[in-house]
Chain A
Amino acid sequence: MLTRRRLTASLAAASLLAAPGLGRAGAVPRRLRIGVAMAGLGGRPYSFAGAVAVMHVQGLLEKEFASGGTSVEWHFFAGAGPAVNEALANNALDFAWQGDMAEIVGRSRGLATKQLFVAGNRFPVAVAVAKDSSIASLADLRGKTVANFQGTTLQLAVDRILATAGLREQDMQMVNLDQVTASEAVAQHQIDASFIEFGLTPQTEKLLKIIYRSGPGEPELSPQTSFITTEAFALAYPDTVDRVVRVAVGAAHWASLGQNRPALYAIYGKTGYPPVFIKSMFDQQDPLVFSSPLWDAFAASQLARSAADSYKFGLIRTQVNTAQWLDRGPLDRALASLGLQHYWPQFGADGLTRVS
C-alpha cells in the first residue's frame, strides 16, 4: 500500500542514488566516457583530434587513472558533432571533442556543458575537385553542386569561406554528405566539388586536386575544435576534470614539439586517411599554434564569432552567450602545475597579432 511515509522514503532513497557524490573532493568516477566527433575511414576509432588524439593513442588517460580503478571509454562518432550531441543529450558521455558549431547547437538547445580547452586551433579546410575539372577557384563554384557536411562545424567554415569570395550557400547547389562519400562523389563526377577537412580515401586522393586550402593567414575562416565536459560531471568530479585537463595539456605539449611531427602524423595516419593528404593539410600549420590549448583572445572571440555566425546563418534559433561557457579553471591549474603558462603564444582577436 502506498502510504505517504513509504512514498517519501522511496523518493528520498531515489534522490540519494541520483546524486553521485556531489562535489565530494577526491571522489572518482568508475568510468570516463569520452566522445570524439570524428571517425576514421570505414568507422575506424581514430581521429585528427590534436592533443585528444595523442591522449587516445598513447593511452595517457588510461595510465593516469589506472590506479584508481577508473576505466576510460572512447567513442568515435562517424556522425560527427550532431551524433555527439545526441549522446550528450542522453547522458552517455562525460567529455567530448567537438567542433564549435556543434557545441553551439547543443548549447542553444539546452545541453549543459563547459568549455575546458582548445584542441585543434585553425583546422585547415580544403576544396577538392576532380583532377580534370575546370574549377580553379572559389568563384568558379557558383552554380555548381558542392558537398558540405551540414550540421557540423564544417558548414560554418564553408559559409565563411564562401563569404570571402562573395558567395553564399544559395549561390550553388549544396548537397549534404559526409566527407568520405563526398570525395568519392567528386571523384566519380557526380558532384562538382566538396569541402573537406579530411575524408580523402587512398583511391580518391589520386583522382582529386585541391583548389583551395584555408591557410594560417586566415584563422577566422577555420573551424575550431575544443574539449568540453558536462556540467553534471564537473560538479560531481571536479578533481577528475582537473586531472584529465592536466594530462591533455601534457599531450598538447608533446604535439607542439617540432620533432614529434612525424609521430603526430603517424597518429593521425591511424585513421586510414592517406599520409600524403595528412601531410599536405598539416604541414602548413605551425604545430605550436595548432596544438595550443589556450583560450587566448583569438580562441575566445572565435567561439563568440561562431555563435554569432551560427545565428546569422540560421543554424541556431536562439542566440548563445559564450562568455560564461568557458571554464578556464582546470586549464589554468594544469598549466601552472606543469609550468607551461608561457609556453604557448597568445594571439589577439584577429588570430595574427601575437600578444605574448
Chain B
Amino acid sequence: MSQTTQILPRVIPSPRRWKLPTPRLSVLRGAIVPVLLLGIWQFVSARGIVANLILPSPWQVVQALHVLVTSGLLLSSIEISLQRLFLGYGIGIGIGLPLGVLMAVSPLARKLIAPSFYAVARVPLLAWVPFLMVIFGIGEALKLAIIAKAALTPVTMNTERAIAAIPRGWVELGRLYRLSWFTALRRILLPATLPPIFVGLRLGLVQAWAALVVVELLAASRGLGFELAMSRQLFQLDTMVALMLVIGVIGFILDRGVARIEFILIRRFGGVA
C-alpha cells in the first residue's frame, strides 16, 4: 500500500500565475517599475550620490521642461522639426509609392531599377550623410534629402511586395467579372495592398523620425535635435532629459497615429485572407 502511494507522482503543481483580478490593477502593476525608478532617481540626485552635473533631479527636468514651454522654444522647435519631417516624408512616399508600384507591375522596370535600388538601400543612411552633405551642403535640402531617403526604402520595398503579393486568383476574378477600373481598385486592389503598404508607411515614418533626429544633431540650427545638441554643448542635463522625453513622446504618438489609421483601414478593407 505504502509503495503505491510513493509511485504515484505528487499533484503536478501548476506554475504560479500572477493573475490580477481586474485589468485596472494590471495598469497599476505596469506603473510599479516606472514609479520605483523615478523614486530611485529622485533619491540618488537629491542625496548627491551622483553629481548634479551628471544627473539632474526629476524636479529639475520638470522645471527645464517648463522653461522650454514658457519660452516658446519647445513649440517652435517641435513645429520646425515636424515641418521637416512631413515634408521629407512626403517626398519620400511621393517617390517611394510610384517606384514600388512600377517595380511590381513592370518586370522590365524591376530588372532595371531593383538591383541598383537595393544596392543603394543596403548602404546605411548614416553612410550617406557625408556624401549628401557635400552635395547639398548643410541647409534644409540636406535634411529633407536624408529624411526622404529614410522613408523611401521601407515604403518602396513594402509597396512592391504588397502589389506583387496580390493573389492571382483575385485579379483573374476581377477580369472575369469585367470589373471597371474603379470597382477593381475598390474591391480588389485596395483591400489586398493597403494593409501591407501601410506597414511600409508606418515603418517609413518611424525611420524618418529617427533620421530627422540624427540629422538635426549633426547639422541644424533649429529644431528639436538641434536644441538637444545645444543642451549638450552647454552642459544642461535637465534640458537634455526634458528634450529626450519630448522626442520620445512625439515618436510614440506618430507611430500610434499611423497604427490607428492602419487598424481602421484593415477593418474597412479587410485585407488578404
Direct contact between A and B judged by beta carbons closer than 8 A = yes
Q: Inside 8 A of A349's CB, which chain B residues have their CB?
A: none
B52 within 8 A of A: yes
Q: Which of B51, B138, B221, B226 is close to A110, meaning CB atoms less than 8 Å apart?
A: B51
Give the segment of A175-183, A274-282, A338-346 that binds chain B. Answer: A175-183
13 additional contacts (CB under 8 A) given A82-B234, A176-B233, A181-B138: A82-B232, A89-B53, A89-B235, A109-B53, A109-B236, A111-B53, A150-B230, A151-B234, A176-B220, A177-B138, A185-B137, A185-B138, A315-B234
Could you tell me if A105 and B234 are in contact, using CB atoms closer than 8 angstroms? yes
B54 (CB) vs chain A CBs: closest residue: A89
Q: Inside 8 A of A105's CB, which chain B residues have their CB?
A: 234-235
Counting chain B residues whose Cβ lies within 8 A of the other chain, the interface size class is 10 to 19
B229 within 8 A of A: yes
Could you tell me if B233 and A150 are in contact, using CB atoms closer than 8 angstroms? yes
Total number of A residues with any Cβ neighbor in B under 8 Å: 24
- Chain A residues 17-68 with CB under 8 Å of chain B are none
Instruction: Please list the 9 inter-chain residue pairs (A to B) with the smallest Cβ-Cβ separation, ordered nearest first.
Output: A151-B233, A175-B221, A110-B53, A190-B137, A82-B233, A109-B53, A109-B235, A151-B234, A105-B235
Given known A105-B235, A106-B235, A177-B219, contact A188–B137 (CB-CB < 8 A): yes
B53 (CB) vs chain A CBs: closest residue: A110
Q: Inside 8 A of B52's CB, which chain A residues have their CB?
A: 109-110
Interface of B is mostly: loop
B71 to chain A, nearest CB (A): 10
Q: How far is the CA of A111 from the CA of B236 in the complex (A)?
A: 13
Contact flags A312-351 to B (C-beta < 8 A → 1, else 0): 0001110000000000000000000000000000000000
20 contacts across the A-B interface (CB closer than 8 A): A82-B233, A82-B234, A82-B235, A89-B235, A106-B235, A109-B52, A109-B236, A109-B237, A110-B52, A151-B234, A174-B221, A176-B221, A176-B226, A176-B229, A177-B138, A181-B138, A185-B137, A188-B137, A190-B139, A316-B234
A201 within 8 A of B: no
Q: How far is the CA of A164 from the CA of B53 in the complex (A)?
A: 34
Q: Taking beta carbons and an 8 Å cutoff, which residues of A are in contact with B?
A: 82, 85-86, 89, 105-106, 109-111, 150-152, 173-177, 181, 185, 188, 190, 315-317
Q: Inside 8 A of A89's CB, which chain B residues have their CB?
A: 51, 53-54, 235
Q: Inside 8 A of A177's CB, which chain B residues have their CB?
A: 138, 219
Q: Inside 8 A of A190's CB, which chain B residues have their CB?
A: 137-139
A111 to chain B, nearest CB (A): 6
Contact flags B128-140 to A (C-beta < 8 A → 1, else 0): 0000000001110
Q: Inside 8 A of A111's CB, which chain B residues have their CB?
A: 53
- Chain B residues 116-158 with CB under 8 Å of chain A are 137-139
A173 (CB) vs chain B CBs: closest residue: B221
Contact flags B187-203 to A (C-beta < 8 A → 1, else 0): 00000000000000000
- Chain B residues 13-61 with CB under 8 Å of chain A are 51-54
Q: How far is the CA of A86 from the CA of B234 in the complex (A)?
A: 10
Q: How far is the CA of A317 from the CA of B237 in the complex (A)?
A: 12
- Chain B residues 47-89 with CB under 8 Å of chain A are 51-54
B67 (CB) vs chain A CBs: closest residue: A317
Q: How far is the CA of A306 from the CA of B54 in the complex (A)?
A: 24
B76 to chain A, nearest CB (A): 13
Q: Inside 8 A of A152's CB, which chain B residues have their CB?
A: 233
